Structure 1
Amino acid sequence: MGVFDRYAPFVQDFIYAHEWESLRGIQVAAGEAIFDTDDHVLLCASTASGKTEAAFFPILTEFWEDPPSSVGALYIGPTKALINDQFYRLTDLCEEAGIAVWHWHGDVSSSHKAKLMKRPSGILQITPESLEAMLMRRHAAVSRLFCDLRYVVIDEVHALLRQDRGGQCLCLIERLARLAGVRPRRIGLSATIGDPKAVGAFLAAGTGRNTVIPRVEEPPRTWRISMEHFYNTDPQADESENQTTRNVVEADVVSLEPQETSPEDQALSPRAALQPEGQGCLSTAVVPGPPEAPTDLAPANADPGIGYIFEHTRGRKCLIFSNSREEAEEVCTTLRSYCEFNGEPDRFLIHHGNLSAAIRESAEEQMRDDAADVSIVATSTLELGVDVGRLERAFQIDAPFTVSSFLQRMGRTGRREAPPEMWFVMREEQAEARTLLPETIPWKLLQGIALIQLYREERWVEPPRLDRLPYSLLCHQTLATLASEGELSPAQLASRVLTLTYFHRVTADDFRELLRHLIRNDFVEQTETGGLIVGLAGERVTSSYKFFAVFQENVEYAVRSGSEEIGTLCAPPPPGEKVAIAGHVWIVDEVDHERHLLYVTQVKGKVPAYFGEVAGDVSTRVLERMRRVLEEHAAYPYLMPHARARLRQARHVARSSCLTDGPLICLGENSREQTMWCLLPWLGSYAFLALERLIKIKCADELGIKAFSSSRPYFITFVMRADERAFFSVLCDAAERLGDPNELLYPAEIPYFEKYDELVPESLIRKGFAEGVLDVAGMKARVAEWGRRALP
């Protein structure tokens, strides 16, 4: 009997109603794994491949045949938007069968939640934070709600592997299973996993089950990619070439089928077809050069890159991705100023985590309207699998930090049988006459090329980091357990928390040190009988709704205009100043610091936005591929005229200065007969950070290093008294003698990274950073490599 024949009748009817001609490979493989085994399942397939249906068709079939007596399946999604989207999709599927679908997060009405509490059944869709709240505040009801829980489906599982949030998710599943006395199967869904075996092991951790990872051959798909470069002010990199493409009407994007071409032809042809193995044809988007920006089309101080996006979103539904909320606000405001200047209706929306739910959901709803001529400027909030209708193309401003993010954003388009399409727009300031050599390199352009080439050539995606020392999360789960269960003896508490699989590297001594610190600071209180309860300071922390989230948050002020809530801001300016949020500019009328409220009135203009720091973690593999981009002569067919010209310039500079021949480049002598140097390690963010510290802490005095400046993770500049050979000799010796990673911390340094680090003993914070964050092994391997080359 085939998988389709085993589906429940209402599932078969759903497939017929949607005129599916056949099941996709991932759906057949998932059906076999779920129907025929008792193992966990990890489904890895491209975006829009039908992974959600692949997981739920067999689950719903089981529920049809044998209804669960409680919530039978728990669906954990990383964002509210994804939960909302999947709620409506599953509701349509389950309505005929009478299988209830519930959703639960901060924006869901209390009446909907009350109905679930009265009649727990079917499928519950929830975020990790709301599940934490449920375990804490409805602890007594958990066993009744989940006594027959059979499946936990984790959507976009790669997004929950980042930092502490993935660990929290795993801890929550284990705590829930213990409380309810169940052993649910876990099903992970993702389009971008670099090491499926490692993620499969993570998914199965502590359960005694294996994880089935079906290998599915997907049909070839054509990708449409272009990458263009812009200086923020004219002239551009190829002004002479650009004359032939000015004022040309935009061409249709042309998909080029795979064809036999010699390496020489492929290098010379800007339209050469690329075929990544197993994925189909990766082709360029054929577009003209950037539109000319005469004064009657662009506002004053026009930004050529944003003007390019403005022109090529007209008449199309697009997503415009930015790497930060600040940049998203700036870009949206600028695009709206183009609309106003040209007398066009505003066609740009904005979507990021600091906006109110009403504004985010309104943007999603407008994008689902196929007749609407609108585009959204977004951050990673729309990177995941939210359905916002038929999108024709995505724009990416500068390079994302990871291959995973590139693939997720690329996958937002290309649904409903259309090929995925992404246009990269790289922006850069013009170099001044006295700019240092490394600052003249277009690092973001190189990074974007490297991300594409790594996936195209090797199918490489960043593997998860699953072996950290998560002391902040340990503290959080300790308080959460005490808050939900009440008084526990130290031994009972350790058995509840320290046995959670995610804390396998944490020792009993570490946990004792944490508990003593929490007791001393009144976060935990020891009773007369020796039991442990939440202390007064701990109650202030755990009673806040913000406790449920383990990701770092800034102190936020709610922004209101009249009765409408616009969103939130960090560090608001005083009254009379302007702020940018929701794609508009507002003047601050009043700041209520006690209640964290900001009252504003909308005005015209343009100002920077500020929401807090945004960090990126770039892998060593990406940096190494960037170096190869400078070294090789390949003409990547997705590069447009400005980008091709800018890459030629960068390669010329690299060859002329021997930039990739060795890691240390002499930049010249200064007036005091000291030499300025540039070090290009080609290391990922945390190995680069370890190298910075090794030089500053262990080598700087001996080498006479001053004026140390880091542009992480690309290069380091410094003035040095010693010569090149002495540099490598001292550096290699320091790396070889480094035994304890804690030596790379400054004497009084307390490196707070995670949300609850401030509640953790300083000794554990230092240990967690040195042994769980810094990539000391990667740094030492690179330094040893330099030593073999420079010190024969």
Structure 2
Amino acid sequence: MGIFERYAPFVQDYIYRNRWENLRAIQVASANAIFNTDDNVLLSASTASGKTEAAFFPIITLFAENPPTSVGCLYIGPLKALINDQFMRLTDLCDQAGIPVWHWHGDVAQTHKSRLMKRPSGILQITPESLEALLLHKHAAIPKLFGDLRFVVIDEIHSLLRGDRGGQTLCLIERLGRLAGVNPRRIGLSATIGEPARTGELLSSGTGRRTIIPKIDAKGVKWRLSMEHFYMKEEDSESEAADIDALPVLEEKTDTAPANADPGLGYIFEHTAGKKCLVFSNSREECEAVTSTLRQYCELRNEPDRFLIHHGNLSSSYRETAEEVMKDDAQCMTTVTTSTLELGIDIGRLERAFQIDAPWTVSSFLQRMGRTGRRELPPEMWFVMREDEPDARALLPATIPWKLLQGIAIVQLYMEERWVEPPRLDRLPYSLLYHQTMATLASTGEMAPRNLAEKVLSLSYFHRVSQDDYKVLLKHLLKHEHLQKTEQGGLIIGLNGEKIINSYKFYGVFKENEEYTVRCETQELGTIVSPPPIGEKIAIAGHVWTVLDVDHKRHLVYCEQVKGKIPAYFGLCAGDLHTRIVQRMRGVLQEDRSYPYLMKNAVKRLETARIAARNGGMDVNPLVNLGGNMWCLTPWIGTYPFITLERILRLKCAESLGLRNLDTARPFYMQFNMDADEEGFFEILRAELAKDIEPLELIYPNELPLFHKYDEYLPPELVCKGFAHGVLDVEEVRNTVARWG
């Protein structure tokens, strides 16, 4: 029997209604694995390749043949918006078969959740945070809800692989399975996975199953790609519409930005006119500033506002409005966004995406590029690189366009090698260990210390945590009243612990700033960090507002809209750049060739950078003299090994080198003064690296490196150990320095 014939009749009807002429390779491979094995499955294929259908066609076919007596499939998605989008798609797919589809997150009505609790069935879509809340507050109902759970589908699994949120998701699945007495098969979906075999191992951890990873030979897709460069203070900039991948000019200019506009944003303003686009920025601050500026250009030209905004600090009403408008192909609007529209939300016939500066990862680039290229259009992205023009007297490192090099390196790594960042699985997740300890105890009630340790440490994600470390943690939590010992010797949540777990923020493990909700009359605009005094202005939702009142007790800011333009602030997140990207940046400086997607300004800027690097020796020498006793070190390594090298120089070599005034631009270069010469620098550094350096030696005196959300509640020795052994990378620094001439 062929795969199509194996599908349930209502699935076949769905395929006919949508006029599919054949099944895609990913759908055939997935169906074979789900129908014919009991293994876990990892599906990796490009965006819009049909992964969702590939997973759910066989699942709902099996459900139609043998309906589950509880929720049969748990779908875990990283974003509310993605769940809302997939809820509509799955409801349409499952409606004819009478398979219920439920969704559960903070914006879902309580009546919908209550109906699920009364009649658990079908497919439940949920975020990791809402699943944590469910296990915490509906602990006794878990066996009824999930007693016949057969599948867990983890969408956009790559987004969960580089931090505590992915670890939390795996812990939640294991805890749920134990409570409900089930061992569901796991199906991971992603368009961008580096080292699939390692991801497959992580997906299967604790299940006793292997993971099938179908190899799909994807057909070649031609990208429409351009990259242009602008100086932000440039008075006049001529740049025609993008000649992408050496194709003919796509269009004539249809619009012009106002006089004296920021050249890069003026370029975006011109080439979004009459089109439906996304503009990606790398921070919420930049997202707000760009939206405000583009709307200002509309006002200056007496045009209707054609720009929307979407990021994580906005209220759900603002985000959902942008999503609905973008789904309407009749409206030619442009949304400025962060990573919140990077993942698999279907926003219809998107014509092109813009990227301001370079994203931090190849994975992010591919996801953002994948927002376009649907409904028979080729994927299309325009990079817009902006920088202040270097002063004529600027030192060498300041003359290098690092973001332009980063953008080229990211594109080239994928085009040349199909390289994507691998998962980070070698951390010591003490912050998550605290969280899961508190969550486990809060949901189950009093437990003996031995039983608690057994229950938590047996979660597969904590395989690197020792019994001794866990004893240190429990003693610390008892001392600080996060835990309390009963007369019978059991452990319960203590007074200070109650304050933590009773907050809705406890459900998540990603670090947050203390946020204030911003309101204008009855309208909720979003959230900000550290509100300014009354009378000052703030930027949010793409507009400027004057603060009328601040309620610090309830964390509310009341404001009214005014005209103007100011910067926004939500709390910055530094990027984690992989060594492979930084090394490829060096290759870009060393090469003589151009790249077909570079536009006129970018070609010129790259050439001046290559000349400057070669004249200064930066292209071949990691250490160059900037004059006198000032030096510049460009180690060409990623963010974490860069931090490690910086600490080795400060703590191990500074005195011998006579090193002072060390200033860094992570992860690109360090500037410093030193008394040693070039030969002495390498000799002293290599001598230190030849020693057996314990990473804990690289913690600064009195330093407490709080990186993760719950680090502040950990004993200091575990905070330092987690940072030293999970972030610092002495071995990569050692290998890098060994390669230097």
Q: State TM-score, norm by structure 1.
A: 0.92
Q: CA deviation at 1:338?
A: 0.6
Can you give the 5+ residue segments of structure 1 that lack an aligned partner in the other structure? 257-270, 272-283, 670-674
Partner AA of 2:584 in structure 1: R
CA contact (8 A) 1:195 1:463 kept: yes
Matched, 1:756 2:716: no
Matched, 1:383 2:338: no
Separation of aligned partners in 1, 2:297 and 2:693: 58
Deviations 1:424-453 (A, max 9, x none): 000010111221110110000000000000
Equivalent positions of 1:758-777 (< 5 A) are 758-777=712-731
Deviations 1:609-642 (A, max 9, x none): 0000211000000000000001011110000000
Corresponding residue for residue 392 of structure 1: 351
Deviations 1:81-140 (A, max 9, x none): 000000000000001110000000000000000000000000000000000000000000
CA contact (8 A) 1:289 1:640 kept: no
1:701 corresponds, among 655, 662, 672, to 655
Matched, 1:517 2:476: yes
Matched, 1:743 2:697: yes
Corresponding residue for residue 491 of structure 2: 532
Matched, 1:298 2:252: no
Matched, 1:635 2:589: no
Corresponding residue for residue 613 of structure 1: 572
Partner AA of 2:715 in structure 1: P
Partner AA of 1:636 in structure 2: Y
Corresponding residue for residue 277 of structure 1: none
Equivalent positions of 1:576-591 (< 5 A) are 576-591=535-550
Partner AA of 2:222 in structure 1: T
Corresponding residue for residue 337 of structure 1: 296
Partner AA of 1:298 in structure 2: P
CA contact (8 A) 2:255 2:271 kept: no
Corresponding residue for residue 40 of structure 1: 40
Separation of aligned partners in 1, 2:604 and 2:483: 62
Q: CA deviation at 1:321?
A: 0.1
Equivalent positions of 1:183-332 (< 5 A) are 183-234=183-234, 242=238, 250=241, 271=246, 286=249, 297-298=257-258, 301-332=260-291
Separation of aligned partners in 2, 1:499 and 1:290: 62
Equivalent positions of 1:88-99 (< 5 A) are 88-99=88-99
Partner AA of 1:700 in structure 2: A
CA contact (8 A) 2:255 2:273 kept: no
Q: CA deviation at 1:65?
A: 0.1
Separation of aligned partners in 2, 1:149 and 1:6: 22
Pair 620,489 (structure 1): closer, same or farther in 2 beyond 3 Å: same
Deviations 1:571-620 (A, max 9, x none): 11001100000000000001111111000000000000000021100000
Partner AA of 1:729 in structure 2: E
Corresponding residue for residue 162 of structure 2: 162
Corresponding residue for residue 602 of structure 1: 561
Deviations 1:668-717 (A, max 9, x none): 01xxxxx1000000000000000000001111111111111000000000
Pair 510,527 (structure 1): closer, same or farther in 2 beyond 3 Å: same
Separation of aligned partners in 2, 1:615 and 1:135: 32
Deviations 1:182-201 (A, max 9, x none): 01000000000011000000
Corresponding residue for residue 266 of structure 1: none
Coordinate RMSD, CA, aligned: 1.4
CA contact (8 A) 1:192 1:407 kept: yes
Partner AA of 1:175 in structure 2: R
CA contact (8 A) 1:151 1:185 kept: yes
CA contact (8 A) 1:328 1:378 kept: yes
Corresponding residue for residue 437 of structure 1: 396
Pair 487,79 (structure 1): closer, same or farther in 2 beyond 3 Å: same
Corresponding residue for residue 28 of structure 2: 28
Equivalent positions of 1:463-474 (< 5 A) are 463-474=422-433
CA contact (8 A) 2:396 2:613 kept: no
Separation of aligned partners in 2, 1:83 and 1:456: 31
CA contact (8 A) 1:285 1:638 kept: no
Separation of aligned partners in 2, 1:389 and 1:189: 21
Corresponding residue for residue 672 of structure 1: none
Deviations 1:554-582 (A, max 9, x none): 00000000011100000110011000000
Pair 57,288 (structure 1): closer, same or farther in 2 beyond 3 Å: closer
Separation of aligned partners in 2, 1:213 and 1:286: 41
Partner AA of 1:70 in structure 2: S
CA contact (8 A) 1:225 1:285 kept: no
Q: Aligned pair count? A: 741
CA contact (8 A) 1:224 1:285 kept: no
CA contact (8 A) 2:578 2:639 kept: yes
Q: CA deviation at 1:784?
A: 2.2
Partner AA of 1:33 in structure 2: A
Separation of aligned partners in 2, 1:656 and 1:728: 22
Deviations 1:499-523 (A, max 9, x none): 0000000000000000000000000
Separation of aligned partners in 1, 2:704 and 2:115: 47
Q: CA deviation at 1:740?
A: 0.6
Pair 157,229 (structure 1): closer, same or farther in 2 beyond 3 Å: same
CA contact (8 A) 2:550 2:557 kept: yes
Percent of residue pairs bearing the same amino acid type: 63
Separation of aligned partners in 1, 2:249 and 2:121: 52
Partner AA of 2:307 in structure 1: F
Corresponding residue for residue 651 of structure 1: 610
Q: CA deviation at 1:217?
A: 1.1
Partner AA of 1:169 in structure 2: T
Separation of aligned partners in 1, 2:219 and 2:661: 55
Equivalent positions of 1:70-85 (< 5 A) are 70-85=70-85
Deviations 1:348-384 (A, max 9, x none): 0000000000100011001111111211000000000
Partner AA of 2:110 in structure 1: S
3-state SS in 1 of match to 2:178? helix
Separation of aligned partners in 1, 2:575 and 2:539: 23
Equivalent positions of 1:478-489 (< 5 A) are 478-489=437-448
Q: CA deviation at 1:285?
A: 7.8
1:691 corresponds, among 615, 626, 645, to 645
Partner AA of 1:17 in structure 2: R
Corresponding residue for residue 133 of structure 1: 133
Q: CA deviation at 1:298?
A: 1.1
CA contact (8 A) 1:156 1:384 kept: yes
3-state SS in 2 of match to 1:95? helix
Matched, 1:546 2:500: no
Deviations 1:522-557 (A, max 9, x none): 000010111000001101100111000000000000
CA contact (8 A) 2:326 2:333 kept: yes
Q: CA deviation at 1:461?
A: 0.2
3-state SS in 1 of match to 2:381? strand
